[in-house]
Amino acid sequence: MNLIERIIEAPPINSKKSTAPVIIEWKGEKMVRNHSIRATVREIIKLSSGLDVVKINLIGMSGNGKTTLSQTIAHLIHKIANIPYAVKVFDKDHLLNFEETLRNLTPTNYVLIFDDVSYLEAEANKNKIDKVKQAFTTIRHLEGGQDVKIIAIFNFHYGKALNKFLRICHFSFYVSADPEEQDNMQQILGVKNASKIKEFQRIWRQGRMKDKFSFRLGKKNWFSYPWQKPFMPFLFSNGSSVRYVVSPKREWVDPICSICSNSDHSIQDSVKLEDFLEDFSRKFTIGNAKTAVKIKLFQNGINAYPKRVKQAMQYIDQYLQKTLFSLEDLALAYDLDTKPTRLFPDKQPELKIS
């Protein structure tokens, strides 16, 4: 299981005054333990155990990681929870027709991501908004919402972009710290957190400009993260306290996830995977097709080769660090064909749209 935390350093046991954060490793990357995105997910799961619906807001301007963070949170929820969760991604139209959206779902526990739902009131009348409110308050009585757990994630641009009722939440994550948003953040998070909001602005600007972001540890020390390699900083509120967290992409946690891969409704259902597989395997044979898929996965950071092949690859890497021969020498020694080729017209893809 990839959720094991290994403690790297901790404050002395006998030091009552020491408040130095514990540094841990997650998949080989160092981080401050109280920045753990997994800890926030455990809070979400715990609250969900006693509620039918838990709501999470992800707030920040476009291009700052709301969608990425929502995918990571959803993945960790279904990975950590001791009950099964499915994941679905929707847009503002699905939210405006929430009762119908819920009715079309198979009854099970869901993490529902509503991506970019800003300015709903500009696109819907009061009656439509009132229906969305009612659907959320009576979710357990609706078809598809009976006897299940719903964790709803709303992504929007700034703190007051939604109707007041709809922006009420149990947890919130701020993905950016625009100066124009500072007053809204203070009103929502409380004036007592003004210094954390200001510090988050510094951290966020530093990451954007210097490709790293740093946190003060104690009075003299600092801990730095490379920007997006793999973590990004966020400000998290659970309704009673505010703290910093860092989170990676979902694909860094687990490169392949069958639950998350079936979550996105933006993929055209009319393009059938079965049609591609039949066409692909017929043109290239199953063996060549399977090898090509393994290579494409490897090019995208996913190693699907057998265990002994993976070990052999590691062996080559280690050996090449200690010797002068090259990969070209290896290719020639094993008589491997490295000549470029091209895809002939009769082998071009045939997408079948129904």
**Residue extents of the structural domains in the chain:** 6-261, 273-347
Please provide the CATH number assigned to the domain covering 6-261: 3.40.50.300
Q: What is the pLDDT of residue 215?
A: 94
**Token digits for 49?**
């155990």
Q: What is the pLDDT of residue 308?
A: 93
Residue 203's closest CA among 245, 167, 155?
A: 245
Q: Tell whether omega for the bond before 230 is within 30 degrees of 0, i.e. cis.
A: yes
Q: What is the pLDDT of residue 144?
A: 60
Q: What is the pLDDT of residue 67?
A: 92
Please say whether the beta carbons of 109 and 147 come within 8 A.
no
d(CA 225, CA 31): 8
pLDDT along the chain (354 residues), means of 10: 44 47 89 95 95 92 88 96 90 85 80 85 77 78 70 84 79 86 83 91 92 88 94 95 96 88 57 80 90 80 84 85 79 84 68 48
Region of 288 (left: φ > 0; alpha: ψ -120 to 50; beta: rest) is alpha
**Token digits for 251?**
């694909």
Residue 29's closest CA among 248, 210, 265, 281?
A: 248
Please say whether the beta carbons of 42 and 81 come within 8 A.
no
Kindly report the pTM of this predicted structure.
0.75
CA 326-329-331 angle, to 5 degrees, is 110
